[in-house]
Chains A and B, each alone.
Chain A
Amino acid sequence: GAVVSQHPSRVICKSGTSVKIECRSLDFQATTMFWYRQFPKQSLMLMATSNEGSKATYEQGVEKDKFLINHASLTLSTLTVTSAHPEDSSFYICSARDIGRIMNTEAFFGQGTRLTVV
């Protein structure tokens, strides 16, 4: 089946630093990738939709200058948490759609990144 690789799986950083999270589709091309945030025991919250070659679309309430998204190729999207603060500590997960499939409503998820800001 299709595989989405997310890296790193865990990261601890100091307050004020920036952290980059990568999301790669390993065996398919993805024009659209999604970035989610999940707080403990809560459901996934969509942060932004990342489109290859164009600007990301952010959900209401998500700061685009704080959560920078780049989707430079059909297989890679990155989320950079800039000037991280302890309240940014969370679980971040990406998903991607396979444009090559007829039923391209299928979603494939990365393994997630647990970010801890100290």
Chain B
Amino acid sequence: KNEVEQSPQNLTAQEGEFITINCSYSVGISALHWLQQHPGGGIVSLFMLSSGKKKHGRLIATINIQEKHSSLHITASHPRDSAVYICAVLKKSSGDKLTFGTGTRLAVRP
């Protein structure tokens, strides 16, 4: 079993829909990242969380440390949000190394 699990693996939504992507982890962490990877391959860091909730534009990320769970929400989704969303954690036991989830492939249809 992977230490970082994401669901769903694939998601198709209609433009304007509210989207939630989930991430569960089984290890102690010092931080959790949500990353966005576009078809060209480049990766953008969306959020880094160690507690609570962060919001940036239409994106909201939450984390529950006790439950070892994080969610990424996209409000009023748009086709340009189509990408792979990756959850990655910084394990307390592995210093600077990130441990990645397998990603959620999101397609938003116009």
**Interface on A for B, CB 8 Å cutoff?**
32, 34, 38, 42-44, 46, 49, 91, 93, 95, 97, 103, 105-112, 114
Contacts and interface: CB of A to CB of B under 8 A. Distances in A.
Nearest to B9: A41
B41 A93 contact: yes
B45 A46 contact: no
Given A42-B102, A111-B42, A106 B48 contact: yes
A36 to B, nearest CB: 9
Contacts, number: 53
Nearest to B31: A105
Interface centre among A42, A93, A103, A109 (most CB of B within 10 A): A109
B30 interface: yes
A109 B96 contact: no
Nearest to B99: A46
A32 B90 CA distance: 15
Contacts of B30: 105
Interface string B75-110: 000000000001010100000111011110000000
A89 B50 CA distance: 36
Contacts of B31: 103, 105
B94 to A, nearest CB: 10
Nearest to B43: A109
B61 interface: no
Contacts of B33: 107
B44 interface: yes
Contact of B97 (A34, A91, A93, A112): A34
B23 interface: no
Given A43-B86, A97-B96, A112 B102 contact: no
